[in-house]
Amino acid sequence: MYRSRIMGIGMSVPKRVVTNHELATKMETSHDWIVERTGIEERHWVSEGETGATLGAAAAREAIQRAGLEPKDIDLIVLATLSPDFNFPGTGVFVQRELGLKEIPCLDIRQQCTGFIYGLSIADNFIRTGQYKHVLVIGAEVHSTGLDISTAGRDVAVLFGDGSGAVVVGRATDDQHVILSTHLHADGSEAEILWTEYPASARHPRISAEAMAERKHFPTMNGKKVFKHAVTRMPQAIMEAMQTNGVKSIAEIDMLIPHQANLRINQMVAQMIGLAPEKTHNNIQKYGNTTAASIPICMHEAIALGKIQPGNLVCLVAFGAGLTWGSVMLRY
Ligand SMILES: CC(C)(COP(=O)(O)OP(=O)(O)OC[C@H]1O[C@@H](n2cnc3c(N)ncnc32)[C@H](O)[C@@H]1OP(=O)(O)O)[C@@H](O)C(=O)NCCC(=O)NCCS
């Protein structure tokens, strides 16, 4: 049985920066309200020509180059998104095309904010069995074209940003650079507390003028319930990863990279598990919540800042719509 490791990481965000002040010109909100409740100061939103596929391909190119590989070395693309460029086919084949690749499999997955964790787990298992040598895992999201950018949608619209992060997962050659374990969970009993109802094949017709008039094609969220879910499930997933790997004290973890949904959530989680502030990194301030892309974007920055060093014990943790949650423990 082989083990896997992260060989290279990349990220890409749209050029356009949208500040809280700009949003306040489009809806009744304020910079102070957004910063106080979420920590977010600005986010990147796409312009014409930028898509999940272009962002995903740019992040992938950097990850492949940093892995010391070429696109032709990739055996499988796993692309996580809740915002595919089109209804079908999935965004994976468009990234494959942008990278100039042919005939390798493309697996599109969802799992929303936990999508990158699920993707890493899939890659890890394909490497472990020996079926593939190099798996590209991409989180790519374009939220901005689907948000209700008005006062009616302000509770959701201010939270989300566009962007992509990617890693190449390959075979580990020692025990200092290795994915140690992955932990995945889901509970559909409250699936509707964060969802977009229309268009939907469960509805007849899939979309109607009435549904649109009721703004049901925009995402809706019970923010308080999601918050509670997050601060319960993330500590559980971290503890599960620690127990599996015999990590007895939180102090043994060198860096926690949490999904970037809300700075307050992440501060509360760190406090609950007794993690020193310097042992976690957040960059939601600049990017907002980029769902499946948030963990690789945050990890990319932590590495650039020298906060993650080779051989460090790193825990990745996420929660999201579905509801879904999970963690990954690795040595970088
Ligand atoms: C969304 C969130 C920041 C809202 O914070 P909150 O303290 O729960 O705020 P509330 O929902 O109670 O809203 C308080 C008031 O602010 C208003 N409000 C909502 N969004 C606003 C905005 N962008 N600007 C100004 N006011 C806003 C509400 O309408 C409400 O007004 P009311 O009291 O007159 O009804 C918070 O619930 C949250 O972060 N939840 C988790 C969301 C999340 O992580 N989602 C992604 C999951 S992956």
Contact 124, 118 (CB under 8 A): no
Active-site residue, 315 included:
no
Active-site residue, 44 included:
no
Q: Is 289 in the pocket of ligand 1 (CB under 6 A)?
A: yes
C-alpha gyration radius of the chain: 19
Mutate which of 21, 32, 35, 37 for ligand 1? The one with the most ligand atoms within 8 Å of its CB, which is: 37
Contact 280, 135 (CB under 8 A): no
Dist. CA 151 → ligand 1 center (Å):
12
Q: Is 248 in the pocket of ligand 1 (CB under 6 A)?
A: no
Active-site residue, 113 included:
yes
Mutate which of 141, 154, 155 for ligand 1? The one with the most ligand atoms within 8 Å of its CB, which is: 155
Q: Which of 113, 177, 229, 282 is catalytic?
A: 113
User: What local confidence, expressed as pLDDT, does residue 160 receive?
Assistant: 98
User: What local confidence, expressed as pLDDT, does residue 12 receive?
Assistant: 98
Dist. CA 227 → ligand 1 center (Å):
10
Q: Which two tokens stand for residue 71?
A: 């696109």
With a pLDDT cut of 70, the percent of the chain lying above it is 100
Ligand 1: residue whose CA is nearest its atom 3: 37
Within the chain, strands assigned E span: 4-12, 17-19, 42-44, 76-80, 106-109, 135-141, 163-171, 178-186, 194-195, 220-221, 255-258, 313-320, 324-331
Q: Which of 20, 282, 283, 289 is catalytic?
A: 289
User: What local confidence, expressed as pLDDT, does residue 325 receive?
Assistant: 98
Q: Is 113 in the pocket of ligand 1 (CB under 6 A)?
A: yes
Q: Is 226 in the pocket of ligand 1 (CB under 6 A)?
A: yes
Residue 312 CB-density burial (10 A; 0-12 exposed, 13-18 middle, 19+ buried): middle
Q: Is 223 in the pocket of ligand 1 (CB under 6 A)?
A: yes
Indicate yes or no: pTM above 0.75.
yes
> Which of 263, 252, 328, 251 is closest to 296 using CA atoms?
328
Ligand 1: residue whose CA is nearest its atom 47: 320
Q: What confidence tens digit (pLDDT) does each residue in 140-171 have?
A: 999 999 999 999 999 999 999 999 999 999 99
Q: Is 38 in the pocket of ligand 1 (CB under 6 A)?
A: yes
User: What local confidence, expressed as pLDDT, does residue 277 receive?
Assistant: 93
- Which parts of the chain sit beneath pLDDT 70? none
DSSP letters along 97-151, please? HHTT--S--EEEE--GGGHHHHHHHHHHHHHHHTS-S-EEEEEEE--GGGS--SG
User: What local confidence, expressed as pLDDT, does residue 194 receive?
Assistant: 97
User: What local confidence, expressed as pLDDT, does residue 229 receive?
Assistant: 96
Ligand 1: residue whose CA is nearest its atom 17: 155
Q: What confidence tens digit (pLDDT) does each residue in 230-245 have?
A: 999 999 999 999 999 9
